């Protein structure tokens, strides 16, 4: 089973403290591009089972986490390793672009 | 993914998906390539009120989801991948995608357009940190905050009206002294107490350390430059055609739009175009849909000559 977890303000920190690359997907139910990007994220998750963790953060429910990273656009993907942001993608992208970014920062 | 197709459609917006429905129903083996999300830029809008056949406003993402499903019903394959090169080889076409090369007898190029940016200081750095191109996606971040919308067309006013549901104040900054948007939208904007207009003004820059704090605004009539505090700025200044792959293949005008007549043929055998990358096109879903159908019918005539 590919690892896509739902994180919030309370548990976010514990989820990013891992040796694995973490992709954080900031989304909201009202964001259509976020919804349309979901199958691509699932594809990436299954390609990297065991090596990449994908966290979904609903910005409406977790305002502190989105403020902490100055997220003001949805979707935003943060690539975090060992607790530090390596890069980010702003706006909807396809799985190939996520893969390319992973290979650059991985 | 299969490598050999009858038709490959580049672009999964209203034009591409409409073309795909007709190609699918013509029993052609059809692939649609979309580099971002299926549905195209219209999914960034919160509602559509002028698509014929729907008396009530519709959600663009729902409409486009139905179009995608309609394609699949007729056997069309939708693939999230980016075409990076297009060339004629032998009797057909080759398209390079992320990790392979595909072949097709015919191509319908409906890759749409890209957001136009002002290309001023601070814009790139603050994109996603207050500078945005999607009010529907990002409006909730600006609840009870001051935001600006830059532009004067339909998109700008729709964005302003949507933002007014969240923000404390919305300022529409436009380079002219009147809007070119639909009159019904202008009326709503002028009647909305939360929305003000800043005419004859250009945005020269975006300021802020880690997030947007202010805009540098130049009034063309008075010559005055003001630093105006805004936490959000939404760009709606038009688009540029996504025609890079066609540059050496078909005739483009000086702005990069494809020069095509009603046949939507390009002069290249089996290469058709559709949607907002065509010169003179107005950005409307209904027009894109019609163009997609027209291109698909022309494409089918061409394929019939090969059968």
pLDDT at B50: 92
Give the catalytic positions of B in this structure. Answer: 134, 137-138
- Name the domain count of chain B: 2
The CATH number of residue B171's host domain is 3.50.50.60
Four-way CATH pick for A4-105: 3.40.50.300, 3.60.20.10, 3.50.50.60, 3.40.30.10: 3.40.30.10
Same domain membership, residue B295 and residue B226: no
Same domain membership, residue B93 and residue B16: yes
B7 near A CB under 8 A: no
Q: Which residue of B has its CA nearest to A99?
A: B98
B10 near A CB under 8 A: no
Same domain membership, residue B111 and residue B48: yes
Same domain membership, residue B73 and residue B222: no
The tens digit of pLDDT for each residue in B234-258 reads 999 989 999 999 999 999 999 999 9
pTM tops 0.90: no
Which of B14, B16, B2 shows the shortest CA–CA distance to B273?
B16
Distance CA A15, CA A7 (A): 8
- Tell me the average pLDDT across A41-56: 92
Degrees to nearest 5, angle at CA B294 with B292 and B296 = 70
Which structural domain range is residue B148 located in?
123-235
pLDDT at B99: 86
Same domain membership, residue B81 and residue B143: no
Same domain membership, residue B39 and residue B103: yes
Same domain membership, residue B269 and residue B127: no
User: Domain extents for chain A?
Assistant: 4-105
Cβ contacts of B140 on chain A, cutoff 8 Å: 28, 30, 59-60
Percent of chain B exceeding pLDDT 90 equals 88
Q: From the centroid of its chain, how far is CA B270?
A: 24
Tens-binned pLDDT, residue by residue, of chain B (307 aa): 899 999 999 999 999 999 999 999 999 999 999 998 899 989 888 889 999 999 999 999 899 999 999 999 999 999 988 999 999 999 999 999 988 999 999 999 999 999 999 999 999 999 989 999 989 889 989 999 999 999 999 999 999 999 999 999 999 999 999 999 999 999 999 999 999 999 999 999 999 998 999 999 999 999 999 999 999 999 999 899 999 999 999 999 999 999 999 999 999 999 999 999 999 888 899 999 999 999 999 999 999 999 8
B106 - beta bridge partners? B7
Same domain membership, residue B111 and residue B243: yes
**Residue that the structure tokens 């004629």 belong to:** B88
Same domain membership, residue B272 and residue B202: no
């Amino acid at each position: 089973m590919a690892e896509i977890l739902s994180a919030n303000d309370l548990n976010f920190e514990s989820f990013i403290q891992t040796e694995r690359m973490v992709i954080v997907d900031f989304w909201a139910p009202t964001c259509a591009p976020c919804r349309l990007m979901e199958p691509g994220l699932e594809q990436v998750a299954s390609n990297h089972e065991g090596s990449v963790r994908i966290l979904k953060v609903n910005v409406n429910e977790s305002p502190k986490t989105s403020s902490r990273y100055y997220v003001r656009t949805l979707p935003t993907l943060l690539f975090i390793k060992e607790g530090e942001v390596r890069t980010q993608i702003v706006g909807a992208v396809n799985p190939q672009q996520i893969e390319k970014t992973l290979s650059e920062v991985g | 993914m299969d490598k050999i197709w009858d038709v490959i459609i580049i672009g999964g917006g209203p034009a591409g998906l409409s073309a795909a429905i007709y190609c699918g129903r013509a029993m052609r083996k059809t692939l649609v390539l979309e580099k971002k999300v299926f549905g195209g830029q219209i999914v960034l809008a919160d509602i559509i009120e002028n698509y014929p056949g729907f008396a009530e406003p519709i959600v663009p993402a729902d409409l486009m989801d139905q179009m995608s499903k309609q394609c699949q019903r007729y056997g069309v394959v939708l693939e999230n991948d980016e075409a990076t090169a297009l060339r004629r080889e032998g009797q057909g076409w080759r398209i390079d995608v992320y990790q392979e090369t595909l072949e097709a007898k015919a191509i319908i190029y409906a890759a749409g357009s890209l957001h136009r940016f002002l290309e001023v200081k601070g814009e790139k750095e603050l994109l996603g940190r207050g500078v945005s191109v999607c009010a529907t996606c990002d409006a909730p971040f600006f609840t009870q905050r001051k935001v600006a919308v830059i532009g004067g067309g339909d998109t700008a006013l729709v964005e302003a009206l949507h933002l007014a549901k969240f923000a404390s104040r919305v300022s529409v900054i436009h380079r002219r002294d009147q809007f070119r948007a639909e009159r019904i939208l202008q009326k709503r904007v002028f009647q909305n107490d939360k929305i003000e207009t800043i005419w004859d003004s250009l945005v020269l820059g975006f300021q802020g350390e880690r997030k947007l704090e202010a805009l540098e605004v130049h009034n063309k009539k008075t010559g005055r430059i003001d630093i105006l505090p805004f936490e959000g700025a939404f760009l709606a200044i038009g688009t540029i055609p996504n025609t890079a792959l066609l540059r050496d293949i078909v005739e483009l005008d000086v702005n990069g739009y494809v020069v095509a007549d009603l046949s939507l043929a390009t002069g290249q055998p089996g290469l058709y175009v559709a949607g907002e990358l065509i010169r003179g096109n107005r950005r409307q879903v209904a027009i894109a849909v019609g163009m997609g159908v027209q291109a698909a019918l022309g494409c089918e005539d061409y394929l019939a000559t090969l059968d």
